[in-house]
Amino acid sequence: MTIQPRNFAREDGVLRFETVGDLTLESGEVLPEVTLAYETWGELNHDASNAILVLHALTGDTHVSRGLVGDDADAKTRAYAETEGWWAGIVGAGAVIDTNKYFVVSPNILGGCNGSTGPASAAPSSIDPENKPWGSRFPQVTIRDTVRAEARLADALGIPSFSYVIGASLGGARSVEWAATFPDRVRGCAVIASASSATADTIAWGHMQNLAIRQDPHFAGGDYYDGVAPETGLALARRIAHTTYRSAAELDFRFGRDVQPGEQPLTSYNTGRGRYQVESYLDYQGEKLVKRFDANSYLAINEALLTHDVARGRGSLRQALEPTAHCHWLVAYVDSDRLFFPSDSHILASALPHPVEPQVIHSPSGHDGFLIETGQVERILRQALAEHSEREEENRGVPSQVAAAA
């Protein structure tokens, strides 16, 4: 494969768009004229060997870290670029994913609502002469589908293979699927607080969230873009999800049975009784999400998570991962995670061609520990990236000791 690197003036943390063409999905349907939104940081080196792919979680987006724009950038672009990213401590100049060293690429997932083609996107004229939003017509996309779209983005950017593909939570589902689908293009793979497949428990929680949205009367089967958005349903879905993101111990420690200031829980139950603090906290989480996320995208991505199974059509999990023998693997879990359990990481790590010991992120906070325990994530990633670089240099015939001594 001959890949021509894309030429663009370096502007970090700026939303870009790539049209990757028609995509034949796992379901057999064709999604026409697919666009992926993405951001980059740093520069691709001369042999295009320094690219790192960072894959966001369910309601994440492309803005992993602050950007850097030229003097001629407009105010909106500048404001966007300078907004704090969701993994600020991990990606940046001098951070463990050092944008002075690596070319970092962060694509928005297929079906998302942060620039990539999703249910809220205008349907192309071949589907709808009026170019109304896809809505209920948007087809099911799987984790494997988005990975295949992302591979086309890598083609366009001139990246034959990634030094490391890194994802946590649903992003980890994306990263392990990347390694199994394109073993020649993934030299290192980090799967953090995630799993090789969505288990029955994951499916159960996802199912309830999806129903919460669908049962909102404003959902209208998915075609609500001309009316009121199904915000109460989406907010309920978020409350369910958020509770699985946090450990019971953390909720108890932070909120206990405390009463929301100014409210009174001991009042009649059907006439607006006051709330406990933890109820108010979950309400707030729901309200925050509906302001920034499309309910159909939530469904599309959550449904994609339910389909996640790196072994589908590939035999056993071990067989599915067999082609990744050369890949440097990092598997890590949060010890208090009640969404993706430590056992999920052990299952993946022990099915690798060269089994690894999963790394532990110690946290009282549950699943969200991957976002909260930045210091530990940083240390684990630093060790993995250093070991990986060293091995790659050795394999190039430049022993790192010699290089260091020179």
Q: Is 341 in the site for a second copy (CB under 8 A)?
A: yes
Nearer to a second copy, 136 or 316 (CB): 136
The CA–CA distances, whole Å, from 99 to 16, 112, 198 equal 18, 25, 32
Dihedral, CA of residue 397, residue 399, residue 400 and residue 404, to nearest 10: -110
Q: Which of 10, 21, 83, 254 binds a second copy (CB under 8 A)?
A: 254
Q: Which of 76, 270, 357, 397 binds a second copy (CB under 8 A)?
A: 270
Rg of the chain's alpha carbons, rounded to an integer?
A: 22
Nearer to a second copy, 63 or 239 (CB): 239
Q: Is 259 in the site for a second copy (CB under 8 A)?
A: no
Q: Is 285 in the site for a second copy (CB under 8 A)?
A: no
Site string for a second copy, 344-383 (x = CB under 8 A): ----------------------------------------
* Cα angle 44, 49, 54; round to 5: 70
Q: Where are the beta strands (DSSP E) in 305-358?
A: 328-334
Least CB distance to a second copy at residue 183 (A)? 23
Handedness of CA 153, 157, 160, 165 (dihedral sign): negative
Owner of token pair 């989480």: 285
Cα–Cα dist 247/401, whole Å: 44
Q: Is 142 in the site for a second copy (CB under 8 A)?
A: yes
367 has catalytic annotation = yes
Cα–Cα dist 168/91, whole Å: 14
Cα–Cα dist 392/214, whole Å: 49
Q: What is the 3-state secondary structure (H, E, C) of 287-312?
A: HHHHHHCCHHHHHHHHHHHHHCECCC
Strand partners, 359: 332
Nearer to a second copy, 279 or 393 (CB): 279
Contact window for a second copy (CB under 8 A) among 61-69, 179-187, 217-225, 351-359: 217-225
Of 25-54, binders to a second copy (CB under 8 A) are 26-27, 29
Ordered DSSP codes for 360-398: EE--SS-TTHHHH-HHHHHHHHHHHHHHHHHHHHHHTT-
Contacts of 62 (CB under 8 A, 6+ apart): 15, 37, 38, 39, 56, 106, 107, 108, 114, 115
Q: Is 266 in the site for a second copy (CB under 8 A)?
A: yes
Q: Which of 108, 121, 307, 363 binds a second copy (CB under 8 A)?
A: 307
Q: Which of 176, 306, 334, 361 binds a second copy (CB under 8 A)?
A: 306
Site string for a second copy, 96-125 (x = CB under 8 A): -----------------------x------
Active centre residues (catalytic): 169, 337, 367
Contact residues toward a second copy (CB under 8 A) are 26-27, 29, 119, 135-140, 142, 197-201, 203-205, 207-208, 211-212, 215-217, 221-222, 232-233, 236, 239-240, 243, 248, 251-252, 254-257, 265-271, 273, 275-279, 282, 296, 299-300, 303, 306-307, 309, 338, 341
